[in-house]
Amino acid sequence: MSDASNFQKSSITVAFMADQLREAVGVPLDKHNAVDDSARPVTESNLHRPGLALAGYVELFTHQRVQVLGNTEHRYLRHLGPDARAEAFGHLMQFDLPCIICTDGNALPAPQLQQATEHGIPVYGTAWPTVRLMEALRTLLNDQFAPQRVVHGSLVDVYGIGLLLMGKPGIGKSEVALDLVERGHRLVADDVVVATRQEAGVLMGSGTDLVQHFMEVRGLGLVDVRAMFGIRAIRFQKRIEVVVDMQLWDEDKEYTRLHMVEDTHDILDVALPTVQVPITPGKNITVICEVIAMNYLLRHYGYDAAEVFTERLRARIRGESPSVPRRGIEYFEGDYE
């Protein structure tokens, strides 16, 4: 297994952020002044509403963040006289702000817009309410600044579970992924998987813009999964939930048989449950991957086959009748459907 080093964006440009808000999120965003926004950086995902800074308290002003002016800030500026308004807005102009976004259909008074233009600060406006705009922008920036790692493997959605197939080059990851797709499951990425850590330890996987849903099958060449199997055979991203570690069979190595001790594999400090699958001639790895996914679902719903078997064994040793059902699916048959 060969993992590339982690990477994380240190900044994006204001122009890129504005384009993504319009195109990817659908925010109606207008630019209010003629300032070059292609060279101004946004360096963090947190946002700021500069109410205290307008009032003159700038000691803890987080000026490096995108500044959002909503109804409160605009009404405060409008209730001031022209000179006091220029002075209040001047408190912001002391700093090198990335940009200013006016929400709720508000717009800066002409003198203040001119102040921003003279200081090279882009000003935008949107009809979206402040809370809605901040939620959308924060989500966009969190995604842009999230830690990422490129992982060598194949990511497949099997019964709704993201299985990351890993192993040495040539061991057959792409072939197993292709077989899973042929059986009705969905390919997310092959060979190069971009893992992104989001909040709450969630690890999302996707492919690259270049490779997308092409697969390289040794001896066959490139296969376009989307063109061959249709749109239902692919996904553009999926949460990575289980690592399937494909290994060549080693007779001197002890492999897990009861799975009482769970192995994990760390990616971006997220511990993922891992199943080591030894590769031997005749072994149906595709079916094993399906069972891994279904077993993960069972455990998610509170049924652990190893624990149930152990309890049955203990009951037999004590001379008692096992109290657990033979099929754990009976616990939550309705939920699973």
Kindly give, in sequence order, each residue whose CB lies less than 8 Å from that of residue 104, ignoring residues fewer than 6 positions away: 70, 71, 74, 127, 128, 129, 130
Q: How far apart are CA 12 and CA 21, in angstroms?
A: 13
Number of C-beta neighbours around residue 100 at 10 A: 24
Dihedral in degrees, nearest 10, Cα atoms 4, 188, 209, 170:
50
Active site residue 173: yes
Sequential DSSP letters for 131-198: HHHHHHHHHHHHHHHS-EEEEEEEEEEETTEEEEEEESTTSSHHHHHHHHHHTT-EEEEEEEEEEEE-
Active site residue 257: yes
Question: For residue 105, is it left (φ>0), alpha (ψ between -120 and 50) or beta?
Answer: left
Candidate list 104, 190, 191, 238, residue with the active-site label: 191
Candidate list 32, 152, 239, 299, residue with the active-site label: 152
Candidate list 173, 197, 235, 238, residue with the active-site label: 173
Candidate list 79, 257, 318, 326, residue with the active-site label: 257
Sequential DSSP letters for 239-266: E--EEEEEEE--TTSPPPSS--S-EEEE
Q: How far apart are CA 264 and CA 244, in angstroms?
A: 10
Q: How far apart are CA 49 and CA 191, in angstroms?
A: 43
Catalytic site positions: 152, 173, 191, 257
